[in-house]
Amino acid sequence: MKDAYINRKYIVITLVVLASAALIIRLFVIQIVKDTYRMSAENNVLRYVTQYPGRGLIYDRNAKLMVYNQAAYDLMVVPTQTSAIDTAEFCSLLEITLESFIERMKAAAGYSRRAPSIFLKQISAETYATFQEKMYLFPGFYIQPRTLRKYSKPIAAHILGYVSEVDENIISRDTYYKSGDYIGKLGIEEAYEKELRGVRGMKIFLVDVYSRIKGSHNDGRSDTEAVQGSDIISSIDMDLQEYGELLMRNKTGSIVAIEPETGEVLALVSSPGYDPGLLIGRVRSDNYSKLSVDTMLPLFNRALMAAYPPGSTFKTLNGLIGLQEEVVSPSTLFGCNRGYLFVGCHSHSTPLDFVHAVSNSCNSYFCQTFRRILENPRYPSLYAAFDKWKEYLNEFGFGVKLGTDFVNDLSGFIPSVGYFDKYHGKGRWKALTVISLAIGQGEILTTPLQMANMTAAIANRGYYISPHIVKAVGSAGEIDPKFTEKHIVHIDSLNFEQMVTGMEEAVNGGAGSTARVAALRDIIVCGKTGTAQNPHGDDHSVFIAFAPRDNPKIAIAVFVENAGFGSTYAAPVASLMIEKYLKGAITNKYLETRMLDLNLNDK
C-alpha cells in the first residue's frame, strides 16, 4: 500500500514537472523566439501615425519656384470616442452638410469603431485654424497633418502634372504605397515620383482600451522622422512658358521649344490648357470631372500626343535625304508649272535650285526629289530604297519613341513597305502612288515634340539629344546619363549647311520667301513654313525654326490647328517666342498685339 502511494506521488510530481517545463518552453518560444504575439499585444496598446513627407519642390531653369507645398490636414475619427456633439456647429466649421456628416460617420464605424480612420480629407490651413480652436468640443476627432501642392503661377499644367490619392490598382502593383498615400500623375510629378515623394516617417503613441492617446511610446525613441523629397530643377523657362500660353490663348494647338545643344525643353505649351491649381485639394475630383468632359479637351497634351501631318516642314527631311543619297545636288534645277503632275503648287519663280526650292517651298522640287530617292538605281528595288528612306526618318526620331522623360509621348507614324503592300497590294505601288509623302502629307503623322526635335537636329547640323524636361535632381544635381548622349543622324554636315541656308532664305530672303513674317532685327532666324492638310476641317498652320543661325540657342515647332497657312499664324507665334527668349523683350508690338488678341476658337 505504501509503495503504491509513493508511486502515485512520483507520478504526480513528474506530471507537474512536465507541465511546468512545457509552459516554460512555450513562454520562451512566444517571448524570445517568436515576436508575433508580442507585436499583437503591442498593437492593442499602440497607435502608429504616419508622418507624411513634403514632396520635393520644382523650380524652373533659372531657379524660379514653380511648385511648392502648403499645409493641409486630414481630420481623423475614432467612433467609440465620439459623444454627443453639436453637429450643427461641427458641420458649419467644416463647411459640410448634416447628410455628409452622417454618411461619413457610418463609413468610419463600418471600417472600425475603435481604430482611427479619415473622416474628412485635405482640410485647408484656413479651415483648420478655425476648427482647431474648438476641437476640444468634439472628442474622438483629431488632426493628421498633410501637404498639398501649390503653384506660383497658373501655368505649365501639362508639364508639371498633378498629385492624387492612390487607388487599389496602384497599391496592388507597388507595395510601397498604402491606402491614403498620394502619387504623382502625368508630367514631372509622375516621371520623377520616386525622387519627389520622399520617405514616410512614423510616430508611435500609447493609447488606452478606448483608443485615447496617453503619450509617446518609448519616449519617442521609436519614432522615425519623415524625409522630404528631392527638389527638382526643370529645364523650363517659366517666363517663356507663360508667354507661350498667352500667345496661344483662344487658339488650339501647341508650342515646343528646345535648347538644341542640350535637348532641354524650354517651353511646352498645349492649348487649351488649364490652371494646375484646379487639381489640388478637395475640389480636385469635381474639377477633374468638369475638365474631362470639356469639348475643347484641356486635359489632352497636344504637344506630346496629338499626331499631325507635318506638311511642307517635312520637305527639310526629304531635301536632306536627297542630298545625302546624291539624287540631287545644291545646283540641281527643277521647273515648276504650278505643281507636279497631280500635286499643286503656289506661284513662284522657276526653275529653282535647292536653296531656293526650300525658301520658296516648291512642291514640284520636292516631289521630284522624293521620286528620285525611291527610284534610286543604287538600290535593287523600290522597296529597298523606301526602307532606306524610312531608316533616315527613324534616325531623326520619327516613327519611334524619342527616349524622353515624358510619360505619355507618342511615336507618331511612318508607313512601312508592309503597310503599303497591305493597302495597295504587293508590287502594286510605286513612287507616284505615295508621292504625297514628299510634301509631308498622306500617311505620315508626327507630334509637335518630334518636329521640334528634328529642328534641333538641323540646328546642330546632324545630331540631337533626347528632349527632356528636367535639368537636375536633388542637391547633387544628378541627371540620367542618357540625356547627355548624342543621337547621330548619318547625313553629312555640308548637306545640313545647304538646308540651313535654304531655311535662312525662307525667313530673310527676297520675294517668294515664305516666312518673311518671322524675320527679326539683329537675329538670323532660320525657318520653314508648313500647311498641314486636315481631312476633318481647315488646314493646320505649322512652322519650325531655330535661331541664331550659328551657335543656335532655341529650336521651335508651332502648330495652330485649323488656321491655314504656316506663315499666317504659326510663324508669327514662333518669331515672338524666339525674340522673347533671346532678347527678353518684343520689338514688333503690332505683331504681338495681333497674336495676343486673336481668337481663332470663335471661327
In SS3 terms, 500-535 reads as HHHHHHHHHCCCCCCCHHHCECCECCEEEEEEECCC
Neighbours of 38 (CB within 10 A): 12
- Same domain assignment for residues 226 and 319: no
pLDDT tens column, 223-245: 899 899 999 999 999 999 999 99
Contacts of 381 (CB under 8 A, 6+ apart): none
C-alpha cell at 346: 503656289
Decide if 29 is inside a domain: no
pLDDT tens column, 112-166: 888 888 899 888 888 888 898 888 888 888 888 888 899 999 999 999 999 998 9
- Same domain assignment for residues 246 and 355: yes
Neighbours of 435 (CB within 10 A): 22
Nearest 5°: the CA angle 308, 314, 320 is 155
Q: How far apart are CA 263 and CA 554, in angstroms?
A: 10
pLDDT band at 43 (very low <50, low <70, confident <90, very high): low
- Same domain assignment for residues 192 and 313: no
Lookup result for grid cell 504616419: 50
Decide if 474 is inside a domain: yes
Residues 371/374/375/376 CA torsion (nearest 10 deg)? 120
Q: How far apart are CA 69 and CA 54, in angstroms?
A: 7
C-alpha cell at 422: 497591305
Contacts of 331 (CB under 8 A, 6+ apart): 353, 354
Neighbours of 238 (CB within 10 A): 20
Decide if 65 is inside a domain: yes
Distances in Å between the Cα of 585 and the Cα atoms of 429, 545, 588 are 52, 19, 9
Decide if 293 is inside a domain: no
User: Domain boundary at 209, 234, 259, which?
Assistant: 234
- Per-residue pLDDT at 319 exceeds 70: yes
Looking at residue 185, what is its pLDDT?
94
Backbone phi and psi for residue 374, each to the nearest 5 degrees, phi listed first: -80, -25
pLDDT band at 38 (very low <50, low <70, confident <90, very high): very low
Looking at residue 559, what is its pLDDT?
96
Lookup result for grid cell 510629378: 189
Q: Which helix (H) or strand (E) holds 205?
A: strand 201-207
Q: How far apart are CA 213 and CA 49, in angstroms?
A: 11
Looking at residue 39, what is its pLDDT?
44
Q: Residues 165-183: what's their mean pLDDT?
A: 89
Better pLDDT: 243 or 47 = 243
Decide if 498 is inside a domain: yes
Q: How far apart are CA 530 and CA 94, in angstroms?
A: 56
pLDDT band at 36 (very low <50, low <70, confident <90, very high): very low
- Same domain assignment for residues 256 and 166: no
- Per-residue pLDDT at 259 exceeds 70: yes
Nearest 5°: the CA angle 89, 95, 100 is 90
Q: Residues 294-304: what's their mean pLDDT?
A: 96
Residues 241/244/248/252 CA torsion (nearest 10 deg)? -60
- Same domain assignment for residues 251 and 204: no
Q: Residues 270-277: what's their mean pLDDT?
A: 96
The CATH number of residue 343's host domain is 3.40.710.10
Parallel, antiparallel, or unpaired for β 253-259 and 264-271? Answer: antiparallel
Q: How far apart are CA 295 and CA 229, in angstroms?
A: 37
pLDDT tens column, 280-297: 887 888 999 999 999 999
Closest CA to 449 of 296, 299, 262, 306: 306
Burial class of 364 by CB neighbour count within 10 A (0 to 12, 13 to 18, 19+): buried
- Same domain assignment for residues 225 and 320: no
Decide if 284 is inside a domain: no
C-alpha cell at 248: 496661344
Decide if 358 is inside a domain: yes
- Same domain assignment for residues 226 and 326: no
Q: Residues 538-559: what's their mean pLDDT?
A: 95
Q: Which helix (H) or strand (E) holds 368?
A: helix 363-374
- Same domain assignment for residues 218 and 242: no
User: Domain boundary at 234, 263, 285, which?
Assistant: 234
pLDDT band at 41 (very low <50, low <70, confident <90, very high): very low
User: Domain boundary at 176, 203, 234, which?
Assistant: 234
Backbone phi and psi for residue 558, each to the nearest 5 degrees, phi listed first: -125, 130
Render the burial of 463-501: b for 16+ CB within 10 Å, e for the rest: bbbbbbbbbbbeeeeebeeebeeebebebeeebbebbbb
Reduced to 3 states, what is the DSSP secondary structure of residue 128? helix
pLDDT tens column, 81-105: 887 889 999 999 999 999 999 999 9
**Cβ atoms of residues 453 and 399 within 8 Å:** no
- Same domain assignment for residues 245 and 182: no
Domain that holds residue 68: 47-234
Q: Residues 397-423: what's their mean pLDDT?
A: 94
Q: Give the largest Cα separation in the chain, rounded.
A: 137
Q: Which percentage of the chain shows pLDDT scores above 70? A: 93
Nearest 5°: the CA angle 560, 564, 569 is 50
Looking at residue 378, what is its pLDDT?
95
pLDDT band at 4 (very low <50, low <70, confident <90, very high): low
- Same domain assignment for residues 413 and 485: yes
- Same domain assignment for residues 189 and 118: yes
Looking at residue 603, what is its pLDDT?
63
Closest CA to 555 of 303, 316, 260, 262: 260
- Per-residue pLDDT at 35 exceeds 60: no
pLDDT band at 461 (very low <50, low <70, confident <90, very high): very high
DSSP, residue by residue, 50-97: EEPPPPPPEE-TTS-EEEEEEEEEEEEE-GGG--S--HHHHHHHHT--
Q: Which percentage of the chain shows pLDDT scores above 90? A: 66
Nearest 5°: the CA angle 243, 249, 251 is 125
Q: Which helix (H) or strand (E) holds 224?
A: none
**Cβ atoms of residues 147 and 52 within 8 Å:** yes
Q: Which DSSP state fits 219? A: G
Parallel, antiparallel, or unpaired for β 58-59 and 232-234? Answer: parallel
Instruction: For residue 443, list its beta bridge partners.
Output: none
Render the burial of 267-280: b for 16+ CB within 10 Å, e for the rest: bbbbbbbbebbbbb
Please report how the helices 417-424 and 382-395 are oriented relative to each other, as an axis angle in degrees rounded to 10: 130
- Same domain assignment for residues 444 and 587: yes
- Per-residue pLDDT at 37 exceeds 50: no
Neighbours of 125 (CB within 10 A): 11
The CATH number of residue 159's host domain is 3.90.1310.10
Please report how the helices 87-94 and 125-132 are oriented relative to each other, as an axis angle in degrees rounded to 10: 150
Average pLDDT, the chain: 90
Decide if 54 is inside a domain: yes
Looking at residue 25, what is its pLDDT?
72
- The number of residues making up the chain comes to 603
Reduced to 3 states, what is the DSSP secondary structure of residue 37? helix
Backbone phi and psi for residue 132, each to the nearest 5 degrees, phi listed first: -65, -25
Q: How far apart are CA 475 and CA 233, in angstroms?
A: 10
Number of domains in the chain: 2
- Give the least confident one: 25-39, 331-345, 472-486, 554-568: 25-39
